[in-house]
Amino acid sequence: MDATLKKYATADVPRYTSYPTAVQFSEGFDHRTWKDWLAALDEDATLSVYVHIPFCEKMCWYCGCHTTVPNTYDRAERYVQRLLREIEQTAPLVNGPKGRVTHFHFGGGTPTYLKEEHLAAIVAAVRDHFGFAEGAEIAVEMDPRGFTPQKARALADMGFNRGSFGVQDFNPHVQELINRIQPYDQVARCVEDLHKAGIASVNFDLIYGLPGQTIESVRETARLAAGLGPDRIAVFGYAHVPWFKRHQKMIRDEDLPDIDARYEQALAMGEALCANGYRAIGLDHYAKEGDSMIAALDNGTLRRNFQGYTVDPADALLGFGTSAISSMPQGFAQSSRDMAKWASAIDNGELTIDRGVAYTDEDLMRAEIIEKLMCFLRVRPDEIAEKHGFPEAAIAESWEKLKPLQADGLCRVEDGEVIVPDERRLFVRTVCGAFDAYYKPRPNRHAKAI
Ligand code: SF4
C-alpha cells in the first residue's frame, strides 16, 4: 500500500450503519418523543424487529459485541422474562394492525445460547404482539460450537428460515489465538444440519486482521467458506480496542498483522470469494448469484441498517433487549446499554430507551446520499439534495471535502455522479465522510478504515 492510501487506511471513520451515527445519539432521550414516534407510525408501515441476546458460552478474545458470559443460566432466564415484558409493554404503543413484520433478526451475543423453550417464547411473543407478514424473513445468529441437529430442527419448527454462523477463520492456530476453536468439519456439519432441517438460507461472517492470520491463511479460509456454499458472506476487519474491550488484552500486539497486511488480507479474501462464485456488494458483503441481495444490488433496492447490508424494505425497525437500536421515520432510539438500568426500567413499567437522535431535514438528505454510496458505490448528491428541497449550495462544503479524495483516487466524479471505483471499495466509508456534517477525524472514535 502506498503512503497516500495508508494515510486513509489508518484513519478512523464511521461504519455508516446509520446516519447520524451512534456517536450523535444524545443521552436522556425523552420517552414522550419515543411514544409519539411509535403512535405516529403509518397503519400500513412495514416493520422489522431486532432482538438482542447479550450472552455467550465463552468469550472470544476478538469480540466487539455487547455481550457477557454469565456464571449461571438463571441470569439468561431472568433476561428472557424481562424481554418478554419489554415486548408486551411496547406493542400497545405501536400504531397499526398486526402482521406487518417483514424481517425478524435475533442477534447478540449468541441467541442460540438460550434454551429452545426460551427462544420459542420470544418468537411467539413477537408473533403474538406484532405478527409476521406473509413470507417474512426470520433470521438468527448462531455459534457453530455446541450446535446440534436437534437445535437446527427446533429452530426450523419455530419458523426460522435464515441462519448466520460466525465462522471468522478456519486456521487452527488463529482459532487458538482468538479462543474460538471450531474446526472446518464442525462448521460444515452445522450447514448440513441447517439445510436438512429445512432452513435454506445461510450466512457466514469472516474476519481479517486477526492474530496469526496471513494472506495465505485468509485466502484459504475464504476458499473453504465459499466451498460450503453459504448464500451470503460478510468480511469484517478486526477492531483491536483493548482499552475499551478488556478481554482483547488477551491478544498480543505482536501477533497482529500490520496495516499493510490487513489491507492485503481484505483484498485476498475478496478475490478468493469472487473467484469462487460470489459477487462483491458494497463495502464488505459477498453473495452468490441468484441471492436476493444481488437482485437488490442490481435493481437499486439494497439498504443498509444496523445489521449491515439488507434487502429488508421495512419502514421502521423496532429493537428489543439491552443496547438494541430502533430506527423510525423520525430518528433513532437506543435501549439502555447498561443491563441493570434496562432491567430496572422494565421492572418499573417504564420504557427502556435512554439515548437517541431525531432527524433534521438535512440529516435525511445526507443519510440518503451516504446510504446510496455505501450500497451502490455511486450517488448523484445534487439530485438527492434537490429531492429533499435543498439547493446545491447546501452540500457545497461536501464537494470541497471530496476534492482531495478525488485527487488521491478514492473516487471520481462523472457528470455530477460520485463513483467509488471497484478497487477502492474498501475506502467507501472515507468517501461517505465527505457528506457527513458531523464527522471530525479523531483517533479512537470510530473503527479504522481498514
Ligand atoms: S460468540 Fe460472538 S458475541 Fe459471543 S463472544 Fe464470541 S464473537 Fe462475541
60 touches ligand 1 (CB under 6 Å): yes
Torsion of Cα atoms, 142 then 146 then 147 then 148, to 10°: -160
137 touches ligand 1 (CB under 6 Å): no
pLDDT tens by residue, 309-338: 999 889 999 999 999 999 999 999 999 999
pLDDT at 122: 98
143 touches ligand 1 (CB under 6 Å): yes
pLDDT tens by residue, 257-305: 999 999 999 999 999 999 999 999 999 999 999 999 999 999 999 999 9
Nearest CA, atom 6, ligand 1: 60
pLDDT at 30: 87
Measure the CA–CA gap between 347 and 335, rounded to whole angstroms.
14
Indicate which atom in ligand 1 lies nearest the CA of residue 69.
5
Q: Single out the residue of 355, 383, 406 nearest to residue 30, CA to CA.
A: 355
Torsion of Cα atoms, 201 then 169 then 274 then 272, to 10°: -150
Averaged pLDDT, 414-433: 97
Distance (angstroms) between ligand 1 centre and the Cα of 65 equals 7
445: pLDDT strictly greater than 70: no
pLDDT at 440: 84
Of all residues in the chain, the percent with pLDDT exceeding 70 is: 99
336 touches ligand 1 (CB under 6 Å): no
Q: What is the DSSP letter of 243?
A: T
CB atoms within 10 A of CB 249: 11
pLDDT tens by residue, 90-139: 999 998 899 999 999 999 999 999 999 999 999 999 999 999 999 999 99
Which position has the grid cell 457466514? Answer: 204
Q: Which domains does the chain have, with CATH numbers?
A: 18-320 (3.80.30.20), 360-439 (1.10.10.920)
108 touches ligand 1 (CB under 6 Å): yes
Nearest CA, atom 7, ligand 1: 63
pLDDT, mean over the chain: 96
Nearest CA, atom 2, ligand 1: 109
Distance (angstroms) between ligand 1 centre and the Cα of 221 equals 19
Of 62, 67, 236, the one to substitute when testing ligand 1's pocket (max ligand atoms within 8 A of C-beta) is 67
28: pLDDT strictly greater than 90: no
